[in-house]
Amino acid sequence: MKVISLKQKDTEQIQPIDLIDSSLFYISKSTSVFPVSNFTIYEKKGARTKAIHTVQDGIEFPYEFPYLSYATRTVSSHQVYYTFYRFHLISKLVEEIGTVHYPADVELEGIFMTSQEVMYYIRKVKDHDEDDEITYYLFDAKKQKDYVLLEHFLANSISTPTVYEYDEEWYLVFNPFYLETWEKEDLYRKKLTETTLPSEEFISIIPLKQFIKEAKAGTPISGILIEEKKHDGFVRVIAENGDSIFYVRKNYLDQKEELVELSKQTFAKKSYPLPTGFSYHSIRVFNEHVYFVSTEEDYFYSPIKKEIFRIDHTYFEHLIGVMNVYVHYVDHQYIVADCWTRNNQEDRFYVAVVDKENRSVMYFDGKSLGCEVFDQTVVIY
């Protein structure tokens, strides 16, 4: 397993984007006041690292291969102007999509961006005793026109839509919910089903082309309803791989919890019971397989593969004062984990790369470390 370590200064934040062929792309943020930041995109290939694109006062959109999309923010005369761009990591070409403007007291966050459309929402920050006002928009680049999305489930939801590509077509996934799972279940136990927020939540999927057509026409957003729950349970999307979307559903009455595998091709569903001792709060995807993780990060269970295995924590016994281990990656040979230690009131963080076949461990240490695994490459930052 290959390891790439990205050195960083105390004044910058680093976040890997993608590993494409032999090139690692990552962002370095020098100034950041959420959601706006100054950042530079770097490409690291072998021993050579070079800056390939720099953005001032930018707001990142979710990454969709091979584009890093963003909006720049400029304030002028009590107005804020947001200009949308897409940067192609491989060709290094920058594409300007268009500009919108609003009163200066609002914030923008992005959902998706194509060469023709941008979906985003505007948050108007209110006083502490009032909820922020959120409005979703679809921007048409060709007409340079905004369309307001009036669906009531969007405005109050604490989740945002996501996109995915399957068989060269893009889809939009809605999973609106208004309370965290523990809050909703607590209300159910106390029989407080009447709240100021909706109790219904659902999962639905719509082809992106269809969504754009309906949004521009001002008609209600349709799509395929996958599953819905009212006050007596929840449904939450938790992960995906190349062929499936995974979500958890729970019925409060019988306390039944299940993992559901949803086919991206046919939308057929397969359900798997969640075993005792595992939580839907701790789920990982290794090599496109979903695993539930026990509280102590020692047992990993794949309901689809019907496989359970235990991580031998003696791999980390060389570290003094281990407080917590978080496993990022597991396969037949390797384990990659974060290790938090405390010794003489000093916290240190290690990334451990374990070779299970010969029981060797490589440690990388620092005051604050993160890591991600792309295929068989560990990126430490």
My answer on whether 168 and 144 are in the same domain is: no
Note down the domain range covering 76. 1-149
Total structural domains within the chain: 3
My answer on whether 43 and 100 are in the same domain is: yes
My answer on whether 6 and 126 are in the same domain is: yes
| Last-in-domain residue among 120, 149, 178 | 149
My answer on whether 143 and 17 are in the same domain is: yes
Query: Taking Cα atoms as reference points, which of 192, 159, 186, 187 lies closest to residue 174?
Result: 159
| Last-in-domain residue among 149, 173, 190 | 149
Q: What is the pLDDT of residue 294?
A: 81
Confirm whether 225 is domain-assigned. yes
My answer on whether 241 and 258 are in the same domain is: yes
My answer on whether 138 and 171 are in the same domain is: no
Confirm whether 287 is domain-assigned. no
Of 201 and 370, which is predicted with more confidence?
A: 201
Confirm whether 145 is domain-assigned. yes
**How far is Cα of residue 73 from the mean position of the Cα atoms in its chain?**
23
Cβ count near 140 (within 10 Å) = 17
Confirm whether 297 is domain-assigned. no
pLDDT band at 193 (very low <50, low <70, confident <90, very high): low
* Distance between CA atoms of residues 232 and 188, nearest Å: 7
My answer on whether 209 and 81 are in the same domain is: no
Q: Over the chain, what is the mean pLDDT?
A: 89
* Spatial CB neighbours of 351, under 8 Å, sequence gap ≥ 6: 336, 337, 338, 339, 363, 364, 365, 369, 371, 378, 380
The identity of residue 71, as a single letter, is A
My answer on whether 196 and 143 are in the same domain is: no
| Last-in-domain residue among 242, 266, 281 | 281
The per-residue pLDDT for range 82-136, each reduced to its tens digit, is 999 999 999 999 999 999 999 988 999 999 999 999 999 999 877 676 677 899 9
The per-residue pLDDT for range 260-293, each reduced to its tens digit, is 999 999 999 999 988 777 777 778 888 788 888 8
My answer on whether 130 and 4 are in the same domain is: yes
Confirm whether 234 is domain-assigned. yes
The per-residue pLDDT for range 47-92, each reduced to its tens digit, is 999 999 999 999 999 999 999 999 999 999 899 999 999 999 999 9
Confirm whether 367 is domain-assigned. yes
* Distance between CA atoms of residues 102 and 277, nearest Å: 49
Query: Taking Cα atoms as reference points, which of 247, 186, 28, 214 lies closest to residue 119?
Result: 214
Structure tokens at 126: 């209110």
My answer on whether 113 and 169 are in the same domain is: no
* Distance between CA atoms of residues 328 and 293, nearest Å: 11
Q: What is the pLDDT of residue 367?
A: 65
SS3 state at 152: helix
My answer on whether 130 and 201 are in the same domain is: no
My answer on whether 36 and 70 are in the same domain is: yes
